[in-house]
């Protein structure tokens, strides 16, 4: 078995012992572990208070070994899951012996494995027969954790302190009960404390479900068998990924794309990825990427890893269980102080949601220069983050609405891109109109496909979305974090680019165009219209 440190290693087992000795047991235990993670996700969604988690499913769950290495995950949010192992390891490193049975640790620190401040990660040790055998963890996007604007996703922020309360690893649950004093700073900072307590309770419940299911799995199959499966799963995935990458040995490619802006006056900011394949490994080098910027598009290192891992999982990982073993053969070089590995106290709220989308674009772009027939054209390249907050006249209490909006997927050889869908680093759903209008003082005027926004090609890119929401209260704050408003999602092999997006404020019939990162205070009757980008086309059109 490979018990080398969690920091990574070059070693890949030649064969997974349990897989060869007893492949049936291996398959049964592998799927039992994945089922544990999936059941955690279901419990979290069902118990959550906020529509963002309950309806949009903006959460993720996973199981880790006793050293914090990913063992199994549910099919949730890509931008969460590649990053979560760093959060678990931060808790192990900083809390150590405090992580006793019945405790859980909370963090959101982007400089300790977190993504951005609204994503709260709850980590629980799993003890069985007195021994620490694993960790379960979940990450959920909370609709408000303080900061300068409702939703903690401001159009402009230049310091992490402006984006909400920063939580370094701390014990917040003892004997499986939340200690409110341990989250006092969060409850004092947020505009919606009751909702935060409700969602935290759902996260606790999800971890408890994971712990119970792991206990049951160990009772059924034996602790040694399950722990062996932890190791064998990693070795199996590593071996499979290494074999698939080895066909590109000796290949190199580089690709550059640009962020529209950082919201603070910096425009056309480059991200460059250089790929080099050798002996079944790949090195992804961001040395030519811009330095960290003033605005909030700086991307935490953990989120950068998530984006890179996502690309290789989608391109080479079909049928391979996703765990730490998949990443052993991927080396990511992201210079400290760069846009893709910023230093404290950089603002990062849009980096996790927007810059990761461009990282995906540049890694796909580099791969397209090596295996052009296998790579899709660029998808919309943004999550179109929209936040609206204010005072709900029905209750006299603060509300915060947050959602991401889908767009067009890039076409690929043999297939048009899908229309009106969340792409790449977000795997969330929309907020149903009924849930939105019931929960918030908002009214949806239009929700439709943006016809003709997809790039034309032999195979066409998917179309974006038009979403119009009216604010029914005065002094509401509307914040937007978006991209691809000045640049277009690129096509491939002669396919046309998708149409860029647009953000418009409408009041008394007058229209005001908003920048890709914007925060405004609006009176009742204001309509915000978001037109999302289309995906790029693939191949030259016959017309």
CA distance 121 to 167: 10
Please give the backbone phi and psi of residue 2, each rounded to the nearest 5 degrees, phi first. Answer: -100, 105
**Encoding tokens for residue 248?**
């590109």
User: What pLDDT does residue 543 have?
Assistant: 65
Beta bridge partners of 51: none
Buried b (16+ CB within 10 A) or exposed e, 197-210: bbbbebbbbbbbbb
Instruction: Count other C-beta atoms under 10 Å from residue 243's C-beta.
Output: 14
User: What pLDDT does residue 106 have?
Assistant: 98
**Could you tell me if 122 and 138 are in contact, meaning their C-beta atoms sit under 8 angstroms apart?**
yes
Does residue 503 sit in helix, strand or coil? strand
pLDDT by position in tens, the chain (length 543): 232 233 333 334 444 455 547 888 888 999 999 999 999 999 999 999 999 999 999 999 999 999 999 999 888 788 876 778 999 999 999 999 999 999 999 999 999 999 999 999 999 999 999 999 999 999 999 999 999 999 999 999 999 999 999 999 999 999 999 999 999 999 999 999 999 999 999 999 999 999 999 999 999 999 999 999 999 999 999 999 999 999 999 999 999 999 999 999 999 999 999 999 999 999 999 999 999 999 999 999 999 999 999 999 999 999 999 999 999 999 999 999 999 999 999 999 999 999 999 999 999 999 999 999 999 999 999 999 999 999 999 999 999 999 999 999 999 999 999 999 999 998 888 999 999 999 999 999 999 999 999 999 999 999 999 999 999 999 999 999 999 999 999 999 999 999 999 999 999 999 999 999 999 999 999 999 999 999 999 999 886
CA distance 183 to 198: 13
Give the residue from 290, 276, 278, 378 showing the smallest Cα distance to 334. 290
Q: How many residues does the chain have?
A: 543
Strands across the sheet with 385-392, in order? 397-403, 385-392, 476-481, 517-522
User: What pLDDT does residue 7 have?
Assistant: 36
Gap between the terminal Cα atoms of the chain: 58
Instruction: Count other C-beta atoms under 10 Å from residue 452's C-beta.
Output: 11
User: What pLDDT does residue 75 have?
Assistant: 80
DSSP structural state of residue 2: -
Does residue 280 sit in helix, strand or coil? coil
Query: Dihedral through CA 488, CA 492, CA 494, CA 500, nearest 10?
Result: -10
Dihedral sign of CA atoms 226, 228, 229, 231 in order: positive
Give the residue from 504, 503, 493, 426 showing the smallest Cα distance to 461. 493
CA distance 453 to 435: 28
Give the residue from 358, 405, 389 showing the smallest Cα distance to 533. 405
Q: List, in sequence order, the alpha helices (H) in 190-340.
A: 193-221, 223-245, 301-316, 324-327
DSSP structural state of residue 17: H
User: What pLDDT does residue 121 have?
Assistant: 97
**Encoding tokens for residue 165?**
């309360």
Strands across the sheet with 464-471, in order? 442-450, 464-471, 527-531, 502-507, 510-514
Beta strands 281-285 and 330-333: pairing type?
parallel
Give the residue from 520, 504, 501, 498 showing the smallest Cα distance to 469. 504
**Residue extents of the structural domains in the chain:** 17-239, 376-543
């Amino acid at each position: 078995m490979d018990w080398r440190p969690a920091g990574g290693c070059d070693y890949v087992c030649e064969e997974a012992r349990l897989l060869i000795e007893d492949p049936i047991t291996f398959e049964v235990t592998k799927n039992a572990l994945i089922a544990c993670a999936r059941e955690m996700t279901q419990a979290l969604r069902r118990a959550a208070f906020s529509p963002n988690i309950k309806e949009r499913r903006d959460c993720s769950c996973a199981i880790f070994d006793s050293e914090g290495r990913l063992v199994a995950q549910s099919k949730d949010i890509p931008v969460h899951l590649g990053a979560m192992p760093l959060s678990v390891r931060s808790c192990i490193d900083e809390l150590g012996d405090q992580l006793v049975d019945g405790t859980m640790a909370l963090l959101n620190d982007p400089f300790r494995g977190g993504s951005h401040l609204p994503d709260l990660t709850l980590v629980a040790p799993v003890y069985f027969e007195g021994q620490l055998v694993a960790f379960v963890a979940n990450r959920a996007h909370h609709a408000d954790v303080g900061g300068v604007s409702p939703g903690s996703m401001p159009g402009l922020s230049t310091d992490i302190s402006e984006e909400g309360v920063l939580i370094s690893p701390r014990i917040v649950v003892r004997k499986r009960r939340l200690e409110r004093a341990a989250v006092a700073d969060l409850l004092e900072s947020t505009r919606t404390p009751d909702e935060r307590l409700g969602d935290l309770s759902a996260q606790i419940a999800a971890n408890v479900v994971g712990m119970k299911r792991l206990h049951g799995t160990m009772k059924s199959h034996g602790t040694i068998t399950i722990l062996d499966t932890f190791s064998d799963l990693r070795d199996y995935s590593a071996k499979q990924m290494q074999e698939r990458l080895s066909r590109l040995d000796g290949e190199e490619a580089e690709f550059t794309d640009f962020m529209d802006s950082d919201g603070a006056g910096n425009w056309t900011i480059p991200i460059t990825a250089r790929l080099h394949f050798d002996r079944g490994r790949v090195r992804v080098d961001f040395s030519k990427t811009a330095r960290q910027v003033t605005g909030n598009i700086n991307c935490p290192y953990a989120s950068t890893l998530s984006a890179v891992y996502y690309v290789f999982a989608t391109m080479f990982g079909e049928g391979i269980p996703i765990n730490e073993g998949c990443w052993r053969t991927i080396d990511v070089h992201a210079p400290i102080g760069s846009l893709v590995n910023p230093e404290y106290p950089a603002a990062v709220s849009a980096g996790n949601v927007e810059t990761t989308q461009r990282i995906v674009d540049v890694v796909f772009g580099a791969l397209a220069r090596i295996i052009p027939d296998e790579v899709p054209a660029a998808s919309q390249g943004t999550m179109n983050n929209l936040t609206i907050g204010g005072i709900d006249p029905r209750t006299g209490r603060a509300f915060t609405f947050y959602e991401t909006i889908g767009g067009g997927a890039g076409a690929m050889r043999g297939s048009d891109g899908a229309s009106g869908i969340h792409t790449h680093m977000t795997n969330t759903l929309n907020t149903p109109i009924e849930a939105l209008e019931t929960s918030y003082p908002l009214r949806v005027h239009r929700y439709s496909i943006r016809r003709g926004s997809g790039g034309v090609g032999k195979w066409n890119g998917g179309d974006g979305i038009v979403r119009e929401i009216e604010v029914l209260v005065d002094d509401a704050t509307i914040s937007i974090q978006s991209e691809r408003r000045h640049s277009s999602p690129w096509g491939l092999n002669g396919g046309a680019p998708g149409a860029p997006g647009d953000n418009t404020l409408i009041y008394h019939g007058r229209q005001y165009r908003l920048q890709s990162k914007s925060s405004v205070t609006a009176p009742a009757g204001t309509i915000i219209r978001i037109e999302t980008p289309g995906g790029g086309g693939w191949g030259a059109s016959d017309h």
